[in-house]
Amino acid sequence: MWKWIQAFASPKIFYQTSEKIIPWLMMPFVVLSLLGLYWSFVVSPADYQQGDSVRIMYVHVPSAWMSLFIYVVMAVASGIGLIWQIKLAHIVANVSASIGASFTFLALATGSIWGKPMWGAWWAWDARLTSELILLFLYLAYISLNNAFDNPKTGDKACAVLAIVGLVNIPIIYYSVEWWNSLHQGSSISVTKVSMQIDMFIALMLISFAFKFLYGALMLLRARDEMLIREQNSRWVKEIIGE
Amino acid sequence: MDFLLFDKYSAYIWASYLLTFITVAILLINTKRTHKHTITQLRIKYARDKKYTANKQPLR
């Protein structure tokens, strides 16, 4: 396994292998998105309390999950990059930041749109909302810090430290609805229990997996570009570009 | 198709999905554009390097 990871982390092998993986991520993304939209708009019933506004949850909740998931990926990749000095790990963290920031923005924006008819306000300084906003700031800080360095090696280390330190915010976001009296509703899905109608759950899962595949494809596409830039003096890059 | 009007929540629901669509589209388009830009920049760099190396060849 370790040998396979080391081989895949080699810039040239990563570039060649990822090209084959990307279509296998894009196809499920398209199929699951279409199915997810059908389930969200047609199959899923209106909620007995929220009415049709529950349909906003099918994009809001997967976006919020993605914002947390991508940050954890960034922190783990940063840790791997710092400990084992794997260039690809730093690249994965770097290219994930803007995708994560986009999903965090989407989670906040769709949550705000849902909040207006349900709570009567676009925004509340609630623990869940505030900690999610802090996550957006962490992503933006990471992107700014990454752009501030001319030398990628120095930038990678500083960004890795920021990503790892910022990881403390993830459990705060997740447990905020339990730790504080929150306006935000509690979790409807846990490992052992799903407290929602089955078609609502399917719609949520379809879009959630579609977003995961999208992230995978975008991350690989962007990592390939970053790899080309960093390895621009290597012979294999010159051969590929010269083709 | 009346069911797609979603009662009084229609504007909120469609705004959310439109925003999601726009965000995903921007992510995809931006990724594609960055790739094109990277390839173009590297081609320019290699062409310049080649020209520079050719100019440095000793005269015969």
Q: What is the mean pLDDT of chain A?
A: 92
pLDDT, tens digit, for every residue of B23-34? 999 999 999 999
Q: What is the mean pLDDT of chain B?
A: 89
**B27, A106: Cβ pair inside 8 Å?**
no
The confidence score (pLDDT) of residue B8 equals 86
Q: Locate the DSSP E strands across chain A.
A: none
Closest CB from B8, B16, B46 relative to A238 = B46
**A116, B20: Cβ pair inside 8 Å?**
no
The confidence score (pLDDT) of residue A133 equals 97
pLDDT above 70 (res A179): yes
pLDDT above 70 (res A16): yes
- Give how far Cα A211 sits from Cα of A15, A64, A127, A175, Å: 23, 11, 25, 23
Closest-approach residue (CA) in chain A for B38? A225
Which range, of A1-5, A24-28, A59-63, A210-214, averages the lowest pLDDT? A1-5
Contacts of A63 in chain B (CB under 8 A): 20
Q: Kindly provide the b/e burial profile for residues A199-227, where b requires at least 16 CB atoms within 10 angstroms of the residue's own CB.
A: ebbbbbbbbbbbbbbbbbbbbbbbbbbbb
Do residues B12 and A116 touch, judged by C-beta distance below 8 A?
A: yes
The confidence score (pLDDT) of residue B2 equals 62
The confidence score (pLDDT) of residue A150 equals 87
CA A49/CA B33 separation, integer angstroms: 44
Q: Nearest CA of chain B to the CA of A46: how many Å?
A: 9
Do residues A110 and B16 touch, judged by C-beta distance below 8 A?
A: yes
Among residues 19-38 of chain B, which lie with CB inside 8 Å of chain A? 19-20, 23-24, 26-28, 31, 34-35, 38
Which of the residue ranges A45-49, A117-121, A213-217 has the most confident prediction, judged by mean pLDDT? Answer: A213-217
Which range, of A81-90, A117-126, B4-13, averages the lowest pLDDT? B4-13
pLDDT band at A241; cut points 50, 70, 90: confident
**B12, A53: Cβ pair inside 8 Å?**
yes
